[in-house]
Structure formats: structure tokens, C-alpha cells
Structure 1
Amino acid sequence: MKDKIPYLAVNKISKFAVAYIVFLLAIFYYSTVAAYSDSFKEENIQFHSSNLVMNGTLLIPDGPGPHPTIILIHGAGAHTREEYRAEAEIFANSGIAAFIYDKRTEGYSATGIGEKSRSQFLLAKDVLAAVNALKLRADIEPSQIGLWGLSEGGGVAPLAAAQTKDIAFVISVSASGVPPIQQTSWAIENQLRHKDIQAHSIIHSFTRNGMRFLLAAEFFAEATYNPIPPFEQVKQPILAIWGENDRTAPAFESYKIVKKALELGGNEHYTIQFIPQANHDMRFSVDGFNEYEKFAPGYTESMTTWIANVINGDIPKPQIIGQIPKQDRNSPTEIMELSWFDSAWLHLIYMIVLLILFSCYFGILFIKLLQKRKLYNKKTSINAYARILGVFGIVTTLGFFGYFGNTMITNEYGPVIIGRPLPWLILQCMSFLIFLLTILIAISFCKRRTTFIFNEKLRLILLISGGVLFIPWAFYWQLLLPF
């Protein structure tokens, strides 16, 4: 029993020490972290824009007002106010009121399908409506309301600022200097290469001809919208930020275009800054694809410091901060130019014709079976090869458009083999087989056409016609290119 007493004493002392440490950590948390997060209050606000009631939340710093304020503008797609809470809380904790709001769903398609389904000018009107609502509040300094926008919002912010003097400053983050379809083509190629897809055939098919098809079909909202004129018109102090590892918008290319626009417009108070190890969303990322939840180092501090200087009258002259990022290739300008063979209607009709010609082989077979009439001369039949050509023609035609549409929506390409996604490799193999079978069946038909009965001759002529028409279509979509 005596031997256990020292052990029990030590055990009690250890528990006391652990409890004391936990107590100190709790005091430290509530005196720093908790106090920091409670340094602002929130208020839900409604405002009207184009007869639409919009909802948002204003994060108001503690302490006497009126406060400088920043309105946060969404990137492309459907977004709620909560998606930008992290940035808003950073501004609020630094003494800047931050307003976040739910993006409109009326007059703006989140899917982006349809050329008229989005409007940058409509989004800018929402921003101006928010400005008008906020500047009437007693706790907001009306002469110190600024804008922050990410990606698409990085272009909407200067568009709104160029229309009013009520906006004091602009922060544009990851804005694209090229039209949306050109930017998207560049981004898709980055994704393909990141997935170890190196085959030129699929890269060119999806990022060049595929984008032209979407443009011609008007499936891409505001595909050719020019984001640069607003940068030429904005006169307020502007901070333009790009991440070093942006793989969505071409940072180097956009920087050059935006800088030129600001200079042409005579803006004498612009700051351009590049954030190391930051992706498109300004999260920490070493490659631009895999990201951490935290922001890249220096990003938030650069914004709050810049705003403090601007509202205190220390407006910087034109300057570039940070190392200008490298860019392997420019975004493809050639996709903006459509030719007659890029017509969406042409491709739709072409697809229907191919399916009809390949299907006729089996359709006529089915009709003749019902009529119990003779189908072919067994001595001269090449029916087995013809059936393969018909089936592969139908599957490849439908399979290509199905695969293309699915990848555009899901960004999933399938397992990669020898630099190609497996579905693409299968489509290419079937296309080469269609090419060979068309030649072989056509040669055989020409040599022995007098031996075929009428029913079989008609079926083969239609089938061979489908194969012949398939070849230029497959070359257009790069399915017959081996590299």
C-alpha cells in the first residue's frame, strides 16, 4: 500500500498539470481567437434591383462608425452569400464593413446554356443597387464604398465602377482579360494535361472544334463578351490581383491586357499584384489544381493594407508588386472565328444523316424479313463485315457526342491509357475500323456488284455512303488522327 502512495501522488499532480494547461489554452482562445471572431456584428438586408428583391448580409465592425465598406461580387455560376463569408469576415475584422449577397437567379442562368442566359450588365446593375442601399445607412461612410470581385466578378466590379462616382475603389481578383470561351478553352486544356492526357487529337477536338461547336450552337453564355472596355473606363483606384498558379484564367496574358487597358484609360492609381502559390480562388496551391482551404500567404493582408491606404488618402501611383507569373501558352484566339463547317446546324444534320445511313442497312433487313423476301446471295455476301460497319458507325457517332457532352458537364474523362482517356481510345479504334471496313466493302462491292441482288445492293450502297461521309466527319473531330 505504501508503495502505491508515490504513484498516486504523481498521478494526481499530472492530472492537475494537464487541467491547468487546458485552462490556460481556453483563456488564450477566448482572449484572442474568440474575441477576434466577435469583432463584428451582422445584419440581414434586402434591396431592390430591376424589380427583383435581393437578400444579403452586412458584416459591421465593432466600434463607432461610419465605416468604409466593400461589396463582394460573385464569380461565374450560382452562388450564395455564404460562399464569400471567409473574405467578408477578413474585411470586417480589419475594420471594413463587408456586404455579401445572394446572386440573382432570374435573368442569369447558372448553367450558362444559351447565349442570352447571362448578362454582365445585369450583374453590374445589382451591384449599383446594393451601393444605393448601403450609402443611405448611418453606419456606412458613403464616400468610402468599394467593390471586390472574383473571376467573373473581377470584370463586373470595374463595369459597375465605371458607371458611377459613388464607388471609391475596386479590387479585381483573377479577372480574365480574354473572352469567356477563349478562357474556357485554355482552362480545359490545362485540365486535360493535368490528367496526363497528352494526345493532340482529343486536346484539339475538345478545346478548339468543340468550343467552336458550342459557340455556333449558342450553348455558351456571353461566349464572346469583351471584358476589357470597363477597365479602360474605370477611374477609381484599382487593385488587380492574380495568382501565380491560376489554371482557370491566363494570368500573364490577362495582366498584360488589363494593364494596357488601364493605361489607355488614363488610370493613374492602379496596383497590380501577383500572389505566389495561389490558384484562381486565391487558395494556397502548389500546382493550381489541388488546393487547401486557407488563402495563399500575403493575399488578404495585401488587400486590407491597400484599402487602408486608399481610404486614408495615401493613394498609390501605378505599380506592379510580386513576380510576374510565366504562362506556357496563350489562350487560343482562333476559336473566335467560325467557318461554314463549324455550323451547329450542319453538324446536327450531318449526325442525323450518318445515323440514317448506318441504320438503313438493318432497317431494310428488318423490312425484308417481315416480307419473307430473299435478302442476299449467300455466295457473294459480305454481310458479316457490313453488320460490323453499321453497328460501329451508329455507336461511334452517338458515342462521340455523348462523351463530349458528358465531359463538358462533369469534367470527367475516364482512365488514361497511353496519353488518352479510355473512352476516347475506344472511339478512335472504332473510327479506324470504320475507315478500313468502308474501303474493303466498297472495293468488294465494285468488283462483284453484278452478283448482288437488288435488296443487298441497295443496303450496301447506303451503308458505304454512310462510311464515306463518316470519314471527313471523323477527321474534323480528330478521331482518325493517330497522335
Structure 2
Amino acid sequence: MMRGAAAFALAASLGSLQPALAAPQSPSPPWSAPATTEVVTEDRNFTSGDAELSGTLHLPVSGKPVAAVVVTHSASSPLRSASLYDHLKTILPALGIAVFTYDRRGSGASGTKDAGGDFTVLADDAIAAARSLKSDPRIDPRRIGTWGLSQGGWISPLAASRSPDIAFVVAVSAPVVTADVQMIFSSTNHLKANGYSEADIDQMVAARKAVDDYMRGTVGRAEAQAKLDGIKTKPWFKYLYMGETFRDREVSGWRKEIENDPLVNLKAVTVPTLILYGADDAVVPVADSAERLQAVAPQMPNIDVHVIAGADHAMQMSEDLKTSLDPKHDGTERPDSPEYFALLASWLAARGLVGD
């Protein structure tokens, strides 16, 4: 992707950079031309609370400090190497923006203890990642933001609401409803896409609501477990992303998730924020989310919202609905919507985050 004068200025600056900054090159055919954008890839660790997390920085070679994006995770893509994040490692450095991906705590090289469903812990991990980048002289400490999809779209704004170190936010497919509402919407569509009956859907919804009400303290544990026992042998149970039992509400990570209202977090964000949805998203209630955002829009002048035609939950246009909702494909998503790419790039450019 070329950026007119900015791209030529970046190309001209490469000759003055120290050779130590050059990215290792794989063998190329003899007719290859040098790429305009040169990218350094570095593994680096950082500390968040009592955890040491491991990540990789993808840094465009530049003559001056660049903006950076810290990637927060979707629920099904906890590793820095997930295909969901590959487009960021390609597009953003070409725009003169560094990308930092890391293994979510409890995954990959980031230890064995997870966050237990506590979004605040995950948000603080993203903040710690941003702070670790601020000390790098190749990165502009005033232009470090976050990008997150789905659950990451909850984590990124939460991080910005908790720290002045986050200068901007991109939230993709982020439901502006609580997790219990989102999962009933998602589970309903999973069953519909796979041809199950309205009776099956009603039974699923009743079981989910019983578990959620137990977490709220309005239904007894035995009653909720009985509802869950009634569906755990169903052939469609795999589409619900539920265990066959659940933890006590006092220690349950799910209780923490459903008690978190993402709209409250969004209203606390004062930095520029881009929220992107796919019009064909079967996982997130986009219409409800957009309606809630529209209702509070006067209170959030720095937030831009776009719904992208033909895109699904992962900003894909190439996957059919049944395939995109199949659990065996979780973690293999690859965004391919041109409108998504264009909106992301143009929004970043309009806020002075791309390279010169």
C-alpha cells in the first residue's frame, strides 16, 4: 500500500538508518525489487502485575519515532501467531505504524495462569504492553493505541478508560451488550445455521438464562444445573461454548464477564475511538449494539461507528455462514473485507498516526 509523498519520504529515509535495524531477509529471486517498507521483527517480554508476558514487535524502519498498536485478543485467538492478527502485521507497518502482538496470559509463552474471566486484568495487560513500548526510542510514546476484535473489542476500550497511556482505540465486532445477551444471540444463530428447531432453541435459551440467573443470585445452583443437564447431551451443545457444569458464583469468571457492561467502559473513553461492525455478523447483535451507541452518541464525540456491508464477525466476506460458525474453525479467521481495510487505514491516517 503506497501513501504518496509519505511513502517516498519513508523510502528515502531508509538509506540513513543503521544496518542493525534491518529485518532479516529470506532468499529472494534475482529479479526481486527492494520493498519500500522495511520491517524489523523482535520478540520481547514485559511484566504486568505478577505475570511475565511474551510478545513480538513488528516495527517499520523509519527515521523518526512511529505510532504503535497493541493487539488485544479475541476469546478464540489467544496467541500472537493467530491468523486473525496477520493482516495487522502487514497493513499497519506499510502505513508506518508498529504492531505489538503478545500471547494472552495463561497461553503460549505467557505462563499458565489465566485471567479467570477478569477483563480488568486483561485490560491492564494491554496497558502494561503499551508502557513497555513507551521506553523504545523508535516508538512515539504519545501515539500508542489498541486494536481488539470481539472480546478484544471489550478489552481495548476498557484499557483506554483505565490509563492515559492509550492514545486511541480500534474496537472491531465489539458487542455493546453484556456477555450473557451476546452469547444467547450467538448460540441462537449457531443453532439456526445448523438447522435445529425452535424447540431446541427455546431449550437452549432456558438453560443459558438459568445459569446466568444463578450467577446473579436469583436462581439456585441445583435448578440451574438441572437445566444444563437437560441439554449437555444434545448434538448442538458444542455450539454453545459452555461447560457441562459451572463454578460457584463467588469465584466464577463468567459472573465477572456478565456483570461487565461494555457501554459503561466506552462512555469513559475520551480518546479517539473507531468501532467497526460487520453487517452479517451472526455472533454479535450489531443492530442492538449500534442502537445503544446511537442513544449515547452526544456524550461520545470522539467515537466513530461504521457497519460494513457483507462482513461477518471476523471481517470476512469469503466464508459462508455455517463454516464461520463452526467451532472447529475457531482461531483460523482471516479478515478479508476491503471496506474494513479501507476504513481502518483512512481513520488512522486522519488522526495523524501513519508515517510521513
Higher relative contact order, chain-length normalized (CA < 8 Å, sep 6+)? 2
Note the C-alpha offset of 1:201: 1.6
Alignment-derived partner of residue 156 in structure 2: 157
Note the C-alpha offset of 1:40: 1.0
Are the equivalent residues in 1 in contact too, given 2:193–2:321 (CA < 8 A)?
A: no
Q: Deviations over 1:121-146 (max 9, x none)?
A: 00011011111111111000011111
Note the C-alpha offset of 1:167: 1.7
Note the C-alpha offset of 1:171: 0.5
Give aligned-pair identity as a percent: 27
Alignment-derived partner of residue 241 in structure 1: 276
The 3 A distance-change label for structure 1 pair 276 and 78 is closer
Alignment-derived partner of residue 108 in structure 1: 114
Q: Could you tell me how far apart the structure 1 residues matched to 2:105 and 2:340 are?
A: 28
Q: Could you tell me how far apart the structure 2 residues matched to 1:27 and 1:276 are?
A: 42
Note the C-alpha offset of 1:164: 2.1
With normalisation by structure 1, the TM-score equals 0.53
Note the C-alpha offset of 1:182: 1.4
Count of equivalent residues:
275
The 3 A distance-change label for structure 1 pair 70 and 312 is closer
Q: Could you tell me how far apart the structure 2 residues matched to 1:214 and 1:257 are?
A: 22
Note the C-alpha offset of 1:85: 2.9
Q: Could you tell me how far apart the structure 1 residues matched to 2:132 and 2:81 are?
A: 20
Note the C-alpha offset of 1:294: 5.0
Note the C-alpha offset of 1:258: 2.9
Alignment-derived partner of residue 8 in structure 1: none
1:207 is aligned, of 179, 200, 205, to 205
Are the equivalent residues in 2 in contact too, given 1:76–1:152 (CA < 8 A)?
A: yes
Q: How does 1:432-471 map to 2 (within 5 A)?
A: none
Other structure's SS at 1:225 match: coil
- Are 1:95 and 2:130 counterparts? no
**AA in 2 matched with 1:82:** S
Instruction: Give the RMSD, CA atoms, in angstroms.
Output: 2.4
- Are 1:223 and 2:258 counterparts? yes
Are the equivalent residues in 1 in contact too, given 2:278–2:310 (CA < 8 A)?
A: yes
- Are 1:277 and 2:294 counterparts? no
Are the equivalent residues in 1 in contact too, given 2:316–2:335 (CA < 8 A)?
A: yes
Q: Deviations over 1:249-272 (max 9, x none)?
A: 111111122343453xx3222211
Q: How does 1:65-464 map to 2 (within 5 A)?
A: 65-77=64-76, 79-83=78-82, 84-105=85-106, 107-108=113-114, 117-197=116-196, 199-213=197-211, 216=214, 217=221, 218=246, 221=254, 222-263=257-298, 266-285=299-318, 288-290=321-323, 293=334, 295-311=336-352
Q: Could you tell me how far apart the structure 2 residues matched to 1:293 and 1:49 are?
A: 29
Note the C-alpha offset of 1:288: 4.1
Other structure's SS at 1:279 match: coil
Other structure's SS at 1:311 match: coil
Q: Could you tell me how far apart the structure 1 residues matched to 2:170 and 2:321 are?
A: 21
Q: Deviations over 1:278-329 (max 9, x none)?
A: 111111147544458451122122112211111269xxxxxxxxxxxxxxxx
Q: Could you tell me how far apart the structure 1 residues matched to 2:126 and 2:113 are?
A: 15
Q: Deviations over 1:1-40 (max 9, x none)?
A: xxxxxxxxxxxxxxxxxxxxxxxxx677x338xx36x631
**AA in 2 matched with 1:229:** V
Unaligned runs of 5+ in 2: 1-28, 107-111, 215-220, 222-245, 248-252, 325-332
Are the equivalent residues in 2 in contact too, given 1:72–1:88 (CA < 8 A)?
A: no
Alignment-derived partner of residue 217 in structure 2: none
Name the one with the larger helix percent.
1
**AA in 1 matched with 2:165:** D
Note the C-alpha offset of 1:215: 5.1
